Structure 1
Amino acid sequence: MRSKFLFTLVTVLFSFLTFSQTANNYTISFENAEHHEAQITAVFSNLENKVLKLRMSRTSPGRYALHEFAKNIYNVKAVDGKGNELTVTRANPHQWNIGKHDGTVKVTYTLFGNRGDGTYSQIDQTHAHLNIPATFMYALDYEHRPINVTFNVRKDLDWKIATQLKKTGNNTYYAPNLDYFMDSPTEISNHSVRSFTVENGTKKQKINFALHHNGTEAELDEYFEKVKKVVLTQQKIFGELPDFDFGEYTFLACYIPNASGDGMEHRNSTVLTSTRSLANGGLDINIGTVAHEFFHIWNVERIRPQTLEPFNYTEANMSGELWFAEGFTSYYTNLTLCRAGLITQKEYVERLAGGLNYVWNSPGRNYFNPIEMSYQAPFVDAAKSVDPVNRVNTFISYYTYGSVLGLALDLSLRNLDNDKTLDGFMKLVWKNYGKTEVPYTVRDIQYALQRYAGKEFADAFFSKYIFDSQMPDYKTLFSSVGISFVQDKKDELSLGARFSGFKVSSNPIVGGAAYKAGLSVGDEFVSINDQLITAETKPSEFFGQFRPNQTVKLIFKRFGKQKETMFTFDSNRDYTTKLQEKVTNREKKSRDNWLGSK
């Protein structure tokens, strides 16, 4: 469990843990990096007289779905403390059992890794990008033990080590227990580092930004100035930074062509990966992931759902609070950029429409409320399935759903008396559940809102928007801060499904034009009102002759046979959000208090 007690041990009893407890020791080297392999040795000593059970995790901190890391492990061998070979058996696809040892077991194995993101590991001649659950076996029944890991870096490639683990030797690092180890991604590469110190009450906290990229030092300098603005802006929201366990926080950024785009929060660090270089738009675009992941040091890492404690490495981790943990974090992502001056108020406001339209127009609200949408995480959070699903109709991302609810709560609070804001509410939640590291439930958040804004307000918000799937009155909420919220695209057509050319490429949206016409994914238009569609026909020009609510005769092809149906074009129901130029002084003040720098 990520309890405050465990991490107090890190700072208070570090020396005691290091020298008085038996530690599990790992060594990893990368001689065959060009073929994406790492060689790993693990030594487990002072074992009980029973079978040693070694596992590869099936989950990774920050992810909620299953990931079969064991598939990338091979050449597993074991010897005892005298070097005698031991028999290794497989209890299940994820576990290796070793018996008849002498109290010490030395295991060696090969890891294949070639995905650089927030979950997997990637080993090549550019770097060793290591997510710990995807890299190291762990010993069941010995999760409480301290862990030492030695990284044998490639000196010929000028590799250096960046990690939240505590450095104890030249290339050796320490974790107080398995949970901290699993939560500590490590970037080994020829990267550059920038650091600055933040005043945090009576303490000073060090913020490091380690960047592995193919760009220039000047680009990193420019980008790091933006990172600093993000950190300081979010510090003001909560009034303080958390007490990082070793006094430092480290961004682990890989902006390289062979990475996969991702962001993944951890207790005192975060992984940031992108194929987009700083020179190729990354200076402006990548910073959003920085803002999202850093906000997580409060919201999810320390303000933590009870459903994620303790984190389970053998089963999917399901939580009904992700609309708050991920969604409210998503709300603050662009808001942080706006307050930090990294995007304009106009840019921020106009971006709101995308998320609002996605949630507002989705039939998914007919099936699941935000809590139940959060329960879908094990099926969608980097999870894969080979069978088709109907998520276009049944699922709304808890990131976006929670974000638009965070927006509604913020504006609703600002319409109350006594200067209520979402910032103030998040500070209260931080004080009660984050700083104390007491895991929360959905009801705890509701009760916290009762204390902050009153029982009537809190109960109404939760009953309508959290326990049910109603939508707030955004038009009224936006008007209080001088923002228009209008449907101004009604003259545009809506087909009610995604198309590839003239072929339906997604399940039709329930209630949309394609759905009402009885179309299905894979159906291909042949003609409309006897106008034949050919390979030269351009969709934009062809559909441009029709109008919303117009009904036409459609001939389409399904499974090689032609069928006929009547098709009624729908109108685009999307909203736009825009700053109003003519506003009252009160609206202007409210908007600036909301979006302005703090």
Structure 2
Amino acid sequence: MHKILLAFLFLSFIGKAQTNSYKISFDNAVHHEANVKISFPEVKSKTLKIRMSRTSPGRYALHEFVKNVYGFKATNSKGEDLKAKRKDPYSWQVSDHDGTVNIEYTLFANRGDGTYSQIDETHAHLNIPATFMYAEEFKHRPVDVTFDVRKDLNWKIATQLKQKSGNTYTAPDLYYFMDSPTEISDFSIKSFELDGQEIQFVLHHQGTKEEFDQYFDQVERIVKQEKAVYNELPEFDYGKYTFLACYMPNVSGDGMEHRNSTILTDTDALADGGMNANIGTVAHEFFHAWNVERIRPDELEPFDFSEANMTGSLWFAEGFTSYYTGLMLCRAKVRSQKEYIEGLDGTFNYVWNSPALEYFSPIEMSYQAPFVDAATSVDPTNRENTFISYYSYGSILGLALDLSLRQDDLNLDDFMKLMWTKFGKNEVAYKIEDIEATLKEYAGDKFGTEFFNKYIYNSEMPEYAELLKTVGVKLDRSEENDLGVSLSETDNGLEINRNTLKSSAAYKAGLVSGDIIKSINGTPIESKEQFDKIISESSGTVKIEFTRFNEKRNTEAKLNTDPTYTISIDDKASKDAVKNREDWLRSK
């Protein structure tokens, strides 16, 4: 990830660089269409390849944005039509030009999130790779883009791009352009200054000023707590960081980090639960300004817009960021200590009760990102048994590392500072072995080697009960009976709605997704409440009648003990443990 200043210095050194010009207008926004025009001057090659991206910064899977492009037209400087051939689904090859290639097309866009674009009469929510074509051979050229906004809708422009004049913005090269989402709407805006830089929050919503005031107060506290982890902010380009929040009923929930901005989308209005539900994404995405945007995996440099991008470091880049998400909400006093600690057990149970631990380490789970990171496919998978999200896996390992370090008067904050100093501040991309080497440097060879060998290169479980005890927290386990099925009440009966886990009694009894449970021990089952009651009161083996493919079947299942863990504050913790907990969770 290059620095803007260096890019401008380079362009100044080689003389006046040609600029690719883009223009987008929204006359047919009601039908989710935009008109896009692009001009590529000084084309030296006989044939210019124009293409749409297949992925987007911050995403690891493929997204075929070209499917929403139509009405493609190529002309020369005189407006004369040019030949355009298709040799693959993603690009056009334009030839017989006169040194200028002008492109025009219609874009359909109706998904407002961190990857796609959405155009309607509430806004033009633009993720650049989903919106604009590009020419790979001009990736080092500056880009000017003019947004022809709808004045009748009182639209304004918010983006990390530098304003050139009026509605025209500029980027030093293709990557910065692609990495610069833009929200065009009748939004509200608040900002504050921190260490000489502006933190700006753009909010497109249907709520009140008072709601925004309350929400922004939480945002400011979170930003300051996250800065305290590293002791400094990154040097944001143009001295500004912009949150682009769109909490509207027509969007899809998401969050996506970028170099000096982030996209935040959700259907929950601030008055409708969003005040509490959406703030975690704020904390997560801003932490990425350090961890992943600047403390950056080597495999993501350079980012490839034509292929899936894969790295084995997502347990750290996304997972440790997820660990800090909850921790920052606690330190910023958005969540109480009790809420934070009790909220850990959902992720904890998901990770440590998963059969997937026998298949993949955190590194290999990270390699699955191109298949799960908002990726789409039509064939069923067995991910209930084979995959653990690197967000969750890394988060719960971050907890283990932090509490382990604190036993030696160290902590994860200072380790992250060291990663920032060595790799992030000067934007030197790291490899997995660099994380291990840095941990050894910080905590000693023995500690670093053991942690990586057990928990990163393999899938062992840290001694959480002992670690949590050191901060006055209890780890308990249920004693209830458990069949191990996820159920939905349907017109046909109680249906198993997902693959059964290999470790469950249901799996061993041959029960699968789609089976309809009819009776247990001869008692007809009509509701989940009735099912839970019978299982809880049973012991040993239960007889189950079910239907599969409209045929009646029978099986027996030997019930397990419910594997669910509960994490809570220990009211009987020692004074030392309580002090350790305060040191861990207090505001900085």
TM-score normalised to structure 1 length: 0.96
Q: Which moved more, 1:105-114 or 1:573-582?
A: 573-582
Q: Deviations over 1:134-193 (max 9, x none)?
A: 000001211110000000000000000000000001000000001100000000000011
- Residue 549 of structure 2 aligns with which residue? 559
1:402: how far off?
A: 0.1
- Residue 214 of structure 1 aligns with which residue? 206
Matching residue's letter, 2:483 = L
- Residue 143 of structure 1 aligns with which residue? 139
1:542: how far off?
A: 3.9
Which residue of the other structure, out of 513, 518, 523, is the alignment partner of 2:505? 513
Alpha-carbon distance in structure 2 between the residues aligned to 1:293 and 1:174: 24
- Residue 431 of structure 1 aligns with which residue? 421
Q: Deviations over 1:35-69 (max 9, x none)?
A: 00000000000011320100100000000000000
Which residue of the other structure, out of 105, 116, 140, is the alignment partner of 2:101? 105
Q: Which moved more, 1:293-302 or 1:135-144?
A: 135-144
Which residue of the other structure, out of 379, 391, 409, is the alignment partner of 1:387? 379
Alpha-carbon distance in structure 2 between the residues aligned to 1:517 and 1:250: 53
- How many aligned residue pairs are there? 583
Q: Secondary structure at the match of 1:168?
A: strand
- Residue 463 of structure 1 aligns with which residue? 453
- Residue 299 of structure 1 aligns with which residue? 291
Within a 5 Å distance, the mapping from 1:281-296 to structure 2 comes to 281-296=273-288
Which residue of the other structure, out of 236, 245, 248, is the alignment partner of 2:240? 248
Q: Which moved more, 1:458-467 or 1:347-356?
A: 347-356
Q: Secondary structure at the match of 1:250?
A: strand
Matching residue's letter, 1:544 = K
- Residue 437 of structure 2 aligns with which residue? 447
Q: Secondary structure at the match of 1:576?
A: strand
> Residue 57 in 1 paired to residue 47 in 2?
no
- Residue 528 of structure 2 aligns with which residue? 539
1:194: how far off?
A: 0.4
Contact 1:38 1:123 survives alignment (8 Å): yes
Q: Deviations over 1:91-148 (max 9, x none)?
A: 2110011000010011100000000000000000000000000000001211110000
Q: Secondary structure at the match of 1:84?
A: coil
Matching residue's letter, 1:449 = L
- Residue 114 of structure 1 aligns with which residue? 110
Matching residue's letter, 1:270 = T
Alpha-carbon distance in structure 1 between the residues aligned to 2:529 and 2:497: 17
Structure 2 residues not aligned, in runs of 5+: none
Alpha-carbon distance in structure 2 between the residues aligned to 1:23 and 1:442: 38
Contact 1:11 1:245 survives alignment (8 Å): no
Which residue of the other structure, out of 141, 148, 155, is the alignment partner of 2:151? 155
Q: Secondary structure at the match of 1:336?
A: helix
1:226: how far off?
A: 0.7
Q: Secondary structure at the match of 2:105?
A: strand
Query: Sequence identity, in percent?
Result: 56
Contact 2:483 2:557 survives alignment (8 Å): no
Q: Deviations over 1:495-537 (max 9, x none)?
A: 222111321111110020110101111111222222234xxx2
Q: Secondary structure at the match of 1:484?
A: strand
1:3: how far off?
A: 2.6
Alpha-carbon distance in structure 1 between the residues aligned to 2:456 and 2:54: 30
- Residue 397 of structure 2 aligns with which residue? 405
Q: Deviations over 1:362-382 (max 9, x none)?
A: 001000000000000000000
TM-score normalised to structure 2 length: 0.97
Contact 1:10 1:245 survives alignment (8 Å): no
Matching residue's letter, 2:576 = R
Contact 1:17 1:146 survives alignment (8 Å): no
Which residue of the other structure, out of 480, 484, 488, is the alignment partner of 1:496? 484
- Residue 313 of structure 2 aligns with which residue? 321
1:11: how far off?
A: 6.2
Q: What value does the CA root-mean-square deviation take over the aligned residues?
A: 1.3
Contact 1:52 1:140 survives alignment (8 Å): no
- Residue 42 of structure 2 aligns with which residue? 46
Contact 1:18 1:146 survives alignment (8 Å): no
- Residue 336 of structure 1 aligns with which residue? 328
Contact 2:487 2:528 survives alignment (8 Å): no
> Residue 3 in 1 paired to residue 14 in 2?
no
Alpha-carbon distance in structure 2 between the residues aligned to 1:192 and 1:520: 50
Q: Deviations over 1:233-263 (max 9, x none)?
A: 0000000000001110000000000010000
Contact 2:8 2:172 survives alignment (8 Å): no
Alpha-carbon distance in structure 1 between the residues aligned to 2:54 and 2:453: 36
Alpha-carbon distance in structure 2 between the residues aligned to 1:478 and 1:146: 52
Matching residue's letter, 1:405 = L
Alpha-carbon distance in structure 1 between the residues aligned to 2:275 and 2:88: 46
Q: Deviations over 1:397-421 (max 9, x none)?
A: 00000000000000000001xx310
> Residue 257 in 1 paired to residue 225 in 2?
no
1:17: how far off?
A: 8.6
1:472: how far off?
A: 0.3
Which residue of the other structure, out of 20, 27, 36, is the alignment partner of 2:23? 27
Structure 1 residues 591, 20: CA separation in 2 closer, same or farther (over 3 Å shift)? same
Alpha-carbon distance in structure 1 between the residues aligned to 2:406 and 2:542: 49
Give structure 1 regions of 4+ aligned residues with deviation exceeding 6 angstroms.
none
Matching residue's letter, 1:57 = S
Structure 1 residues 132, 17: CA separation in 2 closer, same or farther (over 3 Å shift)? farther
- Residue 123 of structure 1 aligns with which residue? 119
Which residue of the other structure, out of 214, 219, 226, is the alignment partner of 1:227? 219
Matching residue's letter, 1:497 = V
Which residue of the other structure, out of 554, 578, 584, is the alignment partner of 2:574? 584
1:541: how far off?
A: 2.1
- Residue 480 of structure 1 aligns with which residue? 470
Within a 5 Å distance, the mapping from 1:166-205 to structure 2 comes to 166-199=162-195, 204-205=196-197
